[in-house]
Amino acid sequence: MVCLVSRSGRELQRYNNMGGRQVVGCIPYRYKEDIDGNMSNESEVLVVSSQKGQGLMFPKGGWEIDESVEEAAIRESLEEAGVIGTVEGELGQWNFISKRYGIYYEGHMFPLFVKEQLDQWPEKNLRRRVWMTVAQAREACQHWWMKEALDILVQRLVSSQQQKKRYNIC
């Protein structure tokens, strides 16, 4: 059973020692299937529209005090993109200036290997979700730090594929 309501409010929000919000996001990804339904080596990523505009980004939101950073990443992916999957090792941490408040926020990004895409999710009526190639997503994403996280994910996936080929792992 999946909760169809997003968390709201800032009572449980984490802040860093400079007073900036700590936010967590995911880059949901999957591998395309070929004509025969076999998984290919070509990946695609899921972006969502922002609530306040038409800009595209990866799911992200506040990290709350009653959850681990990984739990926050899973929750944000479910709330904003309606996907469930496996969170993998952190891609990194970035400091960026909030457009709204002009202070530095702390952003953590994780890959999320998507196992299920839901038809109903908490922010379905607030956001669009779109599967894209990595190149399309890099072009469309409006946040520099998310683009850097995407680059790290791509390097990680390519390295993993090269190791599988080297050791003949299917």
Q: Which domains does the chain have, with CATH numbers?
A: 22-166 (3.90.79.10)
Distance, in Å, from the CA atom of 21 to the CA atom of 107, rounded to the nearest integer, reads 8
Residue 111: which of 139, 73, 78, 82 has the closest Cα? Answer: 73
pLDDT given at position 8: 60
What pLDDT score was predicted for residue 165? 60
What pLDDT does residue 4 have? Answer: 59
Q: What span, in angstroms and rounded, lies between the C-alpha atoms of 161 and 109?
A: 21
Predicted confidence (pLDDT) per residue in 145-170, tens digit: 999 999 999 999 988 766 666 556 55
* Antiparallel, parallel or unpaired: β 83-87 and 129-133: unpaired
Which of 3, 25, 4, 21 has its CA nearest to residue 12? 21
The helix (run of H) or strand (run of E) holding residue 150 is helix 144-166
Cα gap 77→121, rounded to integer Å: 10
Q: Any bridge partners for residue 110, and if so which? A: 26
Res 22 pLDDT > 80: yes
Q: Which two tokens stand for residue 31?
A: 């591998």
The predicted model gives 107-117 an average pLDDT of 97
